[in-house]
Each structure stands twice: as C-alpha cells, then as structure tokens.
Structure 1
Amino acid sequence: MKNKYINFVLCGDKNFIVPITVAITSILKNIDKSRVSRFFLLTTDFSDNEINTILKLKNKYNFELINIDIKNNINIFDKIDITKNKIPYVSLAVYYRLLMFKVLPEDVDKCFYIDSNMIIDTDLSIIHDNLTEDELASIVVEPLAMQHKKSILYHCYKIDDFKNFQENSFKYPYLNSSFFLVNIKLANELNIFEKMLDFLNRYPNPTYADHDTLNAIIRKKIF
C-alpha cells in the first residue's frame, strides 16, 4: 500500500520565504491530488508571519507544513568557515539539508530535498513511488561539472573519499544535490549522517560545500 504522504524538505532563512513559497506552490500544483504533501522546513529564523504566508496556500491545496528550527543543531557546523567557500554567495544555510538525516520524524520513510529556488512542473509522486526499499536515493548527475571535470572538479582528484570517481567517473559520476529523493530509513541504517559529519570534520570547507559532502558519501552507496 502506498504511503499517503509524500515528504519534502526545503531549507533557508527568512530571506528565502518568497522562493520557498513559490517552490511549494509548484509542487502542490502538479502532485497527485490523492496524496498528501508534507513539507518540512529546516530554518533558523522564520517567524509566525513567514509561516503564515505559506499556510495561506491551504485555501487552495491540501498539505501539511512543519517548521523545524535547527538552531539547536547549528553547532554541528562550527568548523565550517563559509568565507572560504569557492562560491561567494553561498551561506551556511546550504548545509541545513544535511540535517534531514537527523531531525525528521521516525515515520518519514522517503523524502525529497528541493532547493528553494526551484520550480517543479511534474508530478513527483511518480519518482517517489519508483524508489524501492533497498535503494538509497534517486539523484541527477551534474552535467556541467562532468563535462568539465578536470577543471570544475579538480579538487575531487585529491580527496580519498572520491576514489571511485577518480577511477571511473562515468560509472561513479558527480551528482547534483539541489534536487534528490532519499530513502531516509535506509540512510539511517547506513549511518549516512554520521559519515557526512566525519567527512566535514576532515574537510571542513569543501570546495562545493554540501554538494561535495553528499557526493563523498551517498554516491558510494547508490552505484
């Protein structure tokens, strides 16, 4: 029997309220109406006003919204110096998505992560239902990075965690962490969150932040 819920995680601070609302609207517009979309917001400073802005969508759509203030977990990222990131506009909020492996309720089996600046124009329930219990994730390949891997991904050739990428980048390609579906239950069994923290302890300022962190750990488990 299909789970009635389809879970989503979106992250950000109060500066992202408009794009998050737009992203959620696009999901709700296209999702199978027999399912209930459940949105988990991993945020640090959303006020009731910001949450109520999103909840106005309930006038038209059936969904659930759970705001999880992750300020009590923010110390996990103490070693990260965001000023050293290669991409100057990246904030610490990009790492919030990693907490989806730690803070979501136990009844969450599978969950999408979606960047708050994305627009969804298809029914994501199809992708959701196609991910089996023994598959860790569905993630898209990063085409630009793979096309120019010797320059864009040069740092991956210096990190042991990318050994399979180094040996065969076509079989173990670099993945885009802006949109993916993950089997949360299996991820917990595989200690994915703990392994990502270990990676960040060893490489506290990876070149492409969350992208590198997820690639270093999850890519090994899905190919």
Structure 2
Amino acid sequence: MSYDNSDVSFFPSSFESRIYEEQTQEILKSARFQYDPNFKDTSLRETFYGGLGTGKSTVAVREAMWYSWLYPDRPIVANIPLNLPNFRPLTSAKMLFSIDYPCFLLLDEGWQLADSRKRGLMIDIMNMFMLRSRKRKWWVVITEQWYTQVDLRIRFITDVFCEPVFKERINRIKVPCYTKHGLLFHRYRFDPRPVFDYFDSEADPLTLDVKELEDEYEAYLARKRRGYR
C-alpha cells in the first residue's frame, strides 16, 4: 500500500486525527509532560502488556503510524517489519548504540531484554538505554507479556502502561492506560483492521543477541571514558 500524508486510509478523517491527538494529549499530560501541540520535543516511554493475541503489537504499530504521520521525516526503528515509508529495520544490537537522533523505537517483545531475572549487566544496559531516550528525544514503545517481569528500575522510568484487550467479535481493541503507579487515567478503543495493512501480525520479532548487546555496551562505555558519546 502506498502512503503519504494525504492517504485517507492512514487516518480516515480529520476527525479521527483530532481524536487521536486528544488521546495523545491526555497521555502526555498524565505522564507529567508539558503538552507541545507540535510534538517537537516529545519523548515518551510506553509499554503495552498482555497475553498472546491481545493486540499489543497492533496498538504499538498504530502508535508508529501516528508518529509517522506527525513526523514524516523522522525514522521508525523497529524489530518487526513495518509497511511505513520511514521504517528502518532494527538489525543488530550495534544499531541501538548508533541512534543519536529523534525517532520512534519499537521493541516488540522487548521485555526479554529487561527481564528482572537477567543478570545485572543486562539490566544496567536497558536502564541506561531508557534514560538516554529522553535526551535523544526518542519515543520508545515496548511490548511485553506482563509488566512485573520487567526490572523495577526500568518500570519507573516508563511513563505509560497500557493493557490492550482485543474483542474479535466486534473488531475492537480496548486500551486502558495507567501511570507507573498503577492509576487508570485514560481509556480508548479503535477498529484494528486498518492497522493490519501496515505490518505482518504473524512475523516473528528480531531477538537481539545478548552477547553482542553487552559487547556494544562495553564499547560505548569505553568511548564515553575517552570523551565521546
């Protein structure tokens, strides 16, 4: 499917775009961000959690679609293939340490990297990565099976937690949103069928090599000690 900013299949009407912007405004306000109508300096860390088939990836891709519509010149980096013009596949752990520009970063099933049962170095890497996201102006979305699997430090860096529920009979995904303290602050629902044109729901996400990630982290620390970012 071809895409540009005027593609009505992307957001079917100006009304839907306005509604989605209002939803985003509510999320940013609740996450204690000062809302910027132009979204120029927005950095956000979102988690979509739930069991298999609940619509986590679909909601995450919808976020990527919205970001792409807002910022057609900024890349969408993801570990699943997306049918978006500014999509860049995340092909290796090294790529995570080379991103120093504003972007949308989608890690499908990314909880595996931040699992609280991982050894300390891996948790340190993900903690550093999430902290860097604000200064780099990244919009980070991670999907996971259950939020308690993720290390506590990383959970409290995350701004928004959403638990999608897919109602297949009526073709709707309901999305309640919570703060990091577990308070419900917003809920919305949408028809997921238009989103399916923009990704393969059956595709397996790229799993980053943990050893390569640790090696890149050590190289990053060495560069930092020498005065490089």
Please state which band the TM-score falls in when normalised by the shorter chain: under 0.3
TM-score (norm: length of structure 1)? 0.27
